[in-house]
Chain A
Amino acid sequence: MNFFDSGYVTMLAQASLLTIQLALSSLVIGLILAIIFTLGEMNKFKWIAWPTTLLVTMFRGLPELLVVLFLYFGSSQLLFYMTGEYIEVSAFTSGSIALGLIFAAYAAQTMRGALKAVPTGQKEAAKALGLGKVRTFIRIILPQATIQAIPGLSNQWLVLLKDTALVSLIGVTDLLKQSQLITAYTHDSFTWYATAAGIYLVITLISRRAISYLNKKLAIPGLGADA
């Protein structure tokens, strides 16, 4: 038995790519949902703000596995009730949506905190200079809030990356599922699960590097931690 000649390594490489794709698509869905949640939670109408807060709190309290399974098995049932037809939602799609929802539930909190962290003086100064509301938000508030939000969001990205492993349980051939399949042939469970763990670790470590680089790039000189 040779570790590298077996062809299993290529399979694992492809599965790793799928894991990254899954994480990235969940990130995109999650960011969009997070913006919606943030807008909902900060809405001045109580009847929008309250239910959103409830929803977000609920998603933070539920086990990730439950959300993933609920969405996968539940979505086709729900679509069946609504349309009367059996429509199968692909595991990849429902998995990305589930992971995106979990990401958004935490990210919305970060975004809300970041927006609140921008001093009101900034808004007032912009108003005094005659800037419109939309312009103030886009040019003054948003850039400052983004920098505040980056550490929290990047932490959440690392969590998301690890949560992608759950999607293997609904049949997506990601890194974990692939190593499980290989193990079924070879019975070298330790070798393959350890390899999978190693690949996850490498992806995480590279992400961490990229994040700290990004943080350094975005930091405003003289403001915040490095002041």
Chain B
Amino acid sequence: MTHTYFLQLLQGLQTSLILTVVAVIAGCILAILMTMALILKTPILDHLSRGIIILFTGTPLLVQIFLIYYGPGQFDIVKNSTFWYILREPWFCAMLALAINSAAYTTQLFKGTFDSIPSGQWQACRALGMSRRVSLHILLPFAIRRAIPAYSNEVILVFKGTSLASTITIMDVMGYAQRINGQTYDTLVVFSVAGFIYLCVNAILTLLFRYIEKRALAFETQS
């Protein structure tokens, strides 16, 4: 019995993983853009990033998913526009919510790492006659590498967050678990197997990031 559950739940794993990968990549790009806006103090974008951070770190992810999935349907303008074509797709909405949510937390993280660049490094760049732009080019890669340990937590949070996509009809691991639970009432076994899958993926992610950390931060440990 456990074996059949496992195979059924594995079908959902693919959806969970793809959702995670796309949301993490989209979230990371957005986070870099938002961090740039905050650092360079770009007039309007700066306030926009701040607003997104307050809004998306201050409300539950589930509410954000519901708002993005069910919300736009209230307006006829949206329904008649070309965007409706993708906005009615639950997969896209879940991805969007996860990506913006992750971007908001990641921006805070990136900004924090940026702020913790020792001022001596800035001064060294200045002493060498570099402009602010060029200094950024030099310092940013190191700052981003230092953010990796904390960023790995963020990726795991996104993966855990994909389980919420099951609430808007997406058949991920959690979606299948809930369906099988509804069919068999074998709650303890089904959810244990699902939990086992989530734990395995998280363990692999943790090990993977530990390896990446070692490689990326090699320049620090050598000195």
Contact = CB atoms under 8 A, between A and B. Distances in A.
A97 to B, nearest CB: 15
A197 B199 contact: no
B139 interface: no
Chain B interface size, under 10 / 10 to 19 / 20 to 34 / 35 or more: 35 or more
A194 B55 contact: no
B4 interface: no
Interface residues of A, number: 36
A77 B192 CA distance: 13
Contacts of A164: 60
Interface string B189-211: 00110110011001100000000
Contacts, number: 110
Interface of A: 58, 61-66, 69-70, 73-74, 77-78, 162-166, 168-169, 176, 180, 183, 187-191, 193-194, 196-197, 200-201, 204-205
Given A63-B198, A162-B61, A190-B67, 20 more contacts: A58-B199, A61-B203, A62-B199, A63-B160, A64-B160, A66-B163, A69-B177, A69-B181, A70-B187, A70-B191, A73-B181, A74-B187, A166-B164, A176-B60, A183-B70, A189-B66, A189-B73, A190-B73, A197-B59, A197-B63
30 contacts: A61-B156, A61-B203, A62-B195, A62-B199, A63-B160, A63-B174, A64-B160, A64-B163, A65-B174, A69-B178, A69-B181, A70-B187, A70-B188, A165-B60, A165-B63, A166-B60, A166-B62, A176-B62, A183-B70, A188-B74, A189-B66, A189-B73, A190-B67, A190-B74, A191-B74, A193-B71, A197-B67, A200-B58, A201-B54, A204-B58
